[in-house]
Amino acid sequence: MKKNKPLFLLVILLLSAPFFLQAQRRPRIELPSAVNSNYNYHDAFAPFFYTHNGTEYRAATGEPGPRYWQNKADYKLAVKLNEAANEISGTEILSYTNNSPQNLNFLWMQLDQNLFKQDSRGNAIVPLNGSRNAGRGQLFDAGFKIKSVSIVSGAKNEITTDVKYMIEDTRMQIFLPKAMAANGGNIKIKINYSFISPDYGSDRMGVLSTKNGKIFSVAQWYPRICVFDDVLGWNTHPYTGPGEFYLEYGDFDFTITAPSNIIVVGSGELLNPKEVYTTEQLKRWTTASTSDKTILIRTAEEVEKENLKGVTNKELSWHFKINNARDAAWAASAAFIVDAAKINLPDGKKSLAISAYPLESNGDSAWGRSTEYVKKSIEFNSAKWYAYPYPAATCVAGNVSGMEYPGIVFCGIRAKKAGLMHVNDHEFGHTWFPMIVGSNERLYGWMDEGFNTFINTLSQADFNNGEYKSKEPIDKQAIGNYYTAPGLEPVLSYVDNYKERNNGTLSYSKPGEGLTLLREQILGKERFDRAFTTYIQRWAFKHPTPDDFFRTIENVSGESLQWFWRGWFVNNWRLDVAVREVKYVDSTDVSKGALITLDNLEKMAMPVVLEIKLSSGKTDRVKLPVEIWERNISWTFKYNCKEAIESVTYDPEKVLPDFNPSNNSWTKQR
Ligand SMILES: [Zn+2]
């Protein structure tokens, strides 16, 4: 066919005429000149943030896919505490269910106690100037002593087959004589073992001497199955100290046998209180279970009186049960004062807050209020996010400065007042991350510490009408400077992959502040809270990855946030917006409006808030969406004023992490 050239040209002319005429009529506004900037809008808003699409295991929406699976690990543990030798010895029976679509020829287990052996990888990487991790150089016969590993079967586990195993640092590989079937195959592994507790176990467990006896804070106390998942297969990253845990869910039934003068507290419900507490103490338990005020179960006087009797040869066994948990821990001491109070949960459900502490920590300025702190923290987070899932919440004073386990936490013996409230609130805040939402802490500390730090800001501000709330508003520009200091590694790093001194920023405060920024400055409280609650509900008792979190927040809030994930989590980008200048559309008549120019000088993008002061003294707020930075380094917009502008201030309330406040204001020249 032959082209009809003249007609084609005529159509073009007709179509473009209105635009041509309009452009001629409107006075052309002079755009801002180029500025020297590190901002690259393509880097900030580039496509392909996600390196893979959703799968049938993990959906593109960020929720578990239709064929999501995870394995199950139920433990039956029976151990004995040798108080004099600090030794724990006993038997584990792990009932492991393989829900994966693959047969398994071997299993991997974690032997975390091996960190404290002199030749462990974790000890090898302790820097010269010391570390919170590993065993602080204590020389002792450390590590798990594995006495036997066997497969058991029969109604009473009476049929035993020894299996081959191999130990490498903090991991043990168990070779199965016959592959474990996919899609629901089950195996029972029996392990006889013992270990001597370190005095100082990487600040997560340990033994402390007090006036009335040692306090044993016991964790990482049995070989634990590694998580087998659809992300990495077997998660065998060794325990070197910095990275915490990644554990499988299941039901725990455990018994601790100890000298009869010792009180034992543990994860979950104590099944045999009648066998271990006195009649009087039992009555107090009953009172506590219906009391909003703290009730003493074992008083300081009783501790001292029983202490005078000395050690007996008699032993008691304490039997605990916790279901749908990823771990269990316990503590034991003759020195424990014990108190408790009822926790009120949504839908009329109840739990019990318990504190166990020595005489040295007693008193209303210290652990005498511990149970009150635990109760209020759990009540707040249960109402706000997801109901606390366990029958008890026990807080133990010892030489661990703060460490969380399902239904039990260990906090520092010397913590007091706001310090104790904050550590109790933080450690029990871990119930939601990682106990309920079971992310991989060994790799991604920010997904439990950071998310927990964020929920702590709300529960701590709420506590007792703000008793321990900071009175001054926090200057987020100053902390923005600190959180994005050059040389900091990105938040999205493996825990082992950044400097120990940066752990507080990268695992805790910076990701925590990231959620506050999302909630208060980007999405708004209602949209953020809905998205964050959905993340918790979707991944409760499951194993989310960073992408599952990012995708859920984007899908539920309906907002593409990849520019924010890139700036705050994936990279250590800085924010520096400058108010460059104010001009008037007509320099002879300010009532025709002003042209305000902003420059984005660093790598990060954020929505803009400006405060505009007018000559009459009135002030106005202007909000601009982050999209102004999607294809611009500088942005000029028209502000419809009827009078002259005195000043323009970017981020007037200092709620954005703009590290350089020196260029945040423009003031009229006099
Ligand atoms: Zn923590």
**CB within 8 Å of 450: residues ≥ 6 apart:** 491, 507, 508, 509, 510, 511, 512, 514, 515
What single-letter DSSP state applies at residue 436?
A: I
From the CA of 14, how far away is ligand 1's center (Å)?
Answer: 68
Burial-class residue 139 by CB neighbours within 10 Å (0-12, 13-18, 19+). exposed
From the CA of 437, how far away is ligand 1's center (Å)?
Answer: 14
Does the pLDDT value for residue 11 go beyond 60? no
Q: Give the model's pLDDT for residue 395.
A: 98
From the CA of 504, how far away is ligand 1's center (Å)?
Answer: 10
CB 445 within 8 A of CB 244: yes
Query: Cα separation of 570 and 208, whole Å?
Result: 40
Mean pLDDT, the chain, rounded, equals: 95
Q: Give the model's pLDDT for residue 10.
A: 46
pLDDT band at 27 (very low <50, low <70, confident <90, very high): low
Q: pLDDT per residue over 506-520, tens digit each?
A: 999 999 999 999 999
Does the pLDDT value for residue 31 go beyond 80? no
Does the pLDDT value for residue 32 go beyond 80? no
Q: Give the model's pLDDT for residue 310.
A: 72
Task: Tell me what percent of the residues of the chain surpass a pLDDT of 70.
Answer: 96
From the CA of 452, how far away is ligand 1's center (Å)?
Answer: 7
Query: Cα separation of 512 and 184, whole Å?
Result: 38
Query: Cα separation of 664 and 602, whole Å?
Result: 13
Q: Quick one: tokens of 379?
A: 């009540």
Query: Cα separation of 72 and 235, whole Å?
Result: 15
Q: Quick one: tokens of 13?
A: 């002319």
Q: Give the model's pLDDT for residue 132.
A: 86
Query: Cα separation of 380 and 463, whole Å?
Result: 9
From the CA of 427, how far away is ligand 1's center (Å)?
Answer: 6
Q: pLDDT per residue over 373-390, tens digit each?
A: 999 999 999 999 999 999
Query: Cα separation of 565 and 568, whole Å?
Result: 6
Strand 408-412 to 392-398 pairing:
parallel
Query: 373 pairs with which residues across the strands?
Result: none
From the CA of 419, how far away is ligand 1's center (Å)?
Answer: 14
Residues near ion ligand 1 (Cβ under 5 Å): 449
pLDDT band at 597 (very low <50, low <70, confident <90, very high): very high
Q: No. of H helices and E strands in the chain? A: 15, 31
Does the pLDDT value for residue 414 go beyond 70? yes
Does the pLDDT value for residue 4 go beyond 90? no
Does the pLDDT value for residue 123 go beyond 90? yes
Does the pLDDT value for residue 13 go beyond 50? no
From the CA of 636, how far away is ligand 1's center (Å)?
Answer: 44
From the CA of 429, how far away is ligand 1's center (Å)?
Answer: 8
What single-letter DSSP state applies at residue 663?
A: G
Query: Cα separation of 95 and 22, whole Å?
Result: 77
From the CA of 387, how far away is ligand 1's center (Å)?
Answer: 19
Q: pLDDT per residue over 70-100, tens digit each?
A: 999 999 999 999 999 999 999 999 999 999 9
Q: pLDDT per residue over 141-150, tens digit each?
A: 999 999 999 9
CB 303 within 8 A of CB 335: yes
From the CA of 509, how far away is ligand 1's center (Å)?
Answer: 11
Task: Tell me what percent of the residues of the chain surpass a pLDDT of 90.
Answer: 91
Whether pTM > 0.75 for this model: the answer is yes
Q: Is the peptide bond before 434 cis (omega within 30 degrees of 0)?
A: yes
- Binning the chain into helix, strand and coil, the percentages to the nearest 5 are 30, 30, 40
Q: Give the model's pLDDT for residue 24.
A: 52
From the CA of 345, how far away is ligand 1's center (Å)?
Answer: 23
Q: Give the model's pLDDT for residue 26.
A: 62
Does the pLDDT value for residue 648 go beyond 70? yes
Angle at 185 between CA 179 and CA 191, to 5 degrees: 70
From the CA of 416, how far away is ligand 1's center (Å)?
Answer: 18
Q: Quick one: tokens of 444?
A: 């991604």
From the CA of 164, how far away is ligand 1's center (Å)?
Answer: 37
From the CA of 418, how far away is ligand 1's center (Å)?
Answer: 17
Query: Cα separation of 432 and 448, whole Å?
Result: 8
pLDDT band at 7 (very low <50, low <70, confident <90, very high): very low
From the CA of 75, how far away is ligand 1's center (Å)?
Answer: 25
Q: Quick one: tokens of 508?
A: 């805790």
Q: pLDDT per residue over 192-207, tens digit each?
A: 999 999 999 999 999 9
Query: Cα separation of 431 and 312, whole Å?
Result: 37
